[in-house]
Amino acid sequence: MNRPLVIANAPLSSWLTDGLSARYDLRPASDPGANEAQVLVTTGIHGADAAAMDALPALKLIAVHGVGYDKVDMAHARSRGISVTNTPDVLTDDVADMAVALVLATARRIAESDAYVRAGRWGRDPLPPLGRKVTGARFGILGLGRIGSAIARRLEPFSPHIAYHSRNRVEGSAYAYAETAEALAEQCDFLIVATSGGQGTQHLVDAAVLAALGPEGILINIGRGSTVDEAALVDALVNGRLGGAGLDVFDDEPRVPDSLLALDNVVLQPHQGSATVETRRAMADLVIANVDAFFGGKELPTPV
Ligand code: NAP
């Protein structure tokens, strides 16, 4: 019997490729027979626009490897009756760990100091500038969802000053609620972006929010690059109106503005929030579970 066809339109982990290939006829989107596929596997970074969906007339399921589905045209998927699944929860801890790593690395100038030692400058040149104290600092979480909440829990031992902003107040939360992103930035030293991406959060962190964060404030972004006005961010950093930034995500990945590369007070990561062996395995398993459920006629484990 022919194995069901599954199309991939992005590079996948070896666990996902092997797992899918063991069960299905896995082919790239460029394959001539792709248009008969009912299932498309993609990543949070790649996604599927209307044209990608319409190239697959039989498409019934888009299984996203990642929690963010801002690169999937959800309205188009809905209009065509295509289900979309993602991989929530299994990556929450890793992304929250990355946010805390960026808080510490940026505040304590870890990357800059590492480069200083490697370059043989220790003992020859003045030491790097002093960092900023993390213990007792005021933290603002933009987007107290699964990942934002996990970041807040990790920061509790550092400081009692944790506030958040999202469109809705989180029922029962002990953290102070700020009505706007700007109001949150005004009352914190570290603003940590953990919202979902897409149109709803496009440039939510704009020049006004960065001004409210101020010349000693530090911006951390592990959400999506589109949520921060990158030109305003670069301008604030270059002109000393922002203290520093720790960034895992960018507006036009993998392109990073040259002006950011030249700055000592930023720590840059190539979108590595969920990049551990354990989590990438778990994400692959969850994608496969969704595809298996679709072909088995069962309820999808993690629909969007
Ligand atoms: P989630 O539980 O859905 O949380 C999203 C949060 O964003 C919620 O608190 C939501 O609250 C808030 N939000 C949405 N739109 C908003 C708006 N316009 N203004 C203010 N707040 C808004 O999702 P999650 O699992 O925590 O994941 C969050 C995001 O992290 C993902 O969507 C993805 O883009 C990103 N991510 C990045 C990596 C990485 O490698 N760096 C890995 C995984 C995920 P309200 O609905 O109340 O506004």
Question: What residue owns the CA closest to ligand 1's atom 8?
Answer: 145
Active site residue 153: no
Q: Kindly indicate the confidence band of residue 1, based on its pLDDT and cuts at 50, 70 and 90.
A: low
Torsion from C-alpha of 18, 20, 25, 30, nearest 10 degrees: -90
Catalytic residue from among 36, 216, 253, 278: 253
Q: Ligand 1 center to residue 36 CA distance, Å?
A: 34
Rounded to 10°, the helix 277-295/92-107 angle is: 150
Q: Give whole-number Cα distances, 178 to 27, 45, 106, 188, 213, in Å.
A: 48, 30, 24, 11, 14
pLDDT at 145 over 80: yes
pLDDT digits (tens, 9 = 90+) for 287-296: 999 999 999 9
DSSP, collapsed to helix, strand or coil, labels residue 197 as: coil
How many CB atoms neighbour CB 251 within 10 A? 17
Q: Ligand 1 center to residue 35 CA distance, Å?
A: 33
Distance between CA 85 and CA 77 in Å, rounded?
11
- pLDDT value, residue 69: 97
Active site residue 253: yes
Distance between CA 34 and CA 8 in Å, rounded?
9
Which helix or strand (DSSP H or E) is residue 43 part of? strand 39-43
- pLDDT value, residue 119: 98
What percentage of the chain carries pLDDT values higher than 90?
A: 99
- pLDDT value, residue 192: 99
- Lowest-pLDDT choice from 33-37, 79-83, 127-131, 278-282: 33-37
Atom of ligand 1 nearest to the CA of 149: 26
How many CB atoms neighbour CB 113 within 10 A? 18
State if residue 195 touches ligand 1 by the CB under 6 angstroms criterion.
yes
State if residue 88 touches ligand 1 by the CB under 6 angstroms criterion.
yes
pLDDT digits (tens, 9 = 90+) for 4-20: 999 999 999 999 999 99
177-189 average pLDDT score: 98
pLDDT digits (tens, 9 = 90+) for 25-53: 999 999 999 989 999 999 999 999 999 99
pLDDT at 2 over 90: no
pLDDT at 300 over 90: yes
Distance between CA 203 and CA 146 in Å, rounded?
21
Catalytic residue from among 46, 109, 271, 280: 271
DSSP, collapsed to helix, strand or coil, labels residue 218 as: strand
3-state secondary structure 77-129: HHHCCCEEECCCCCCHHHHHHHHHHHHHHHHCCHHHHHHHHHCCCECCECCCC
DSSP, collapsed to helix, strand or coil, labels residue 287 as: helix
Q: What is the mean pLDDT of the chain?
A: 97
pLDDT digits (tens, 9 = 90+) for 72-91: 999 999 999 999 999 999 99
pLDDT digits (tens, 9 = 90+) for 194-247: 999 999 999 999 999 999 999 999 999 999 999 999 999 999 999 999 999 999
Beta strands 266-268 and 244-247, pairing class:
parallel
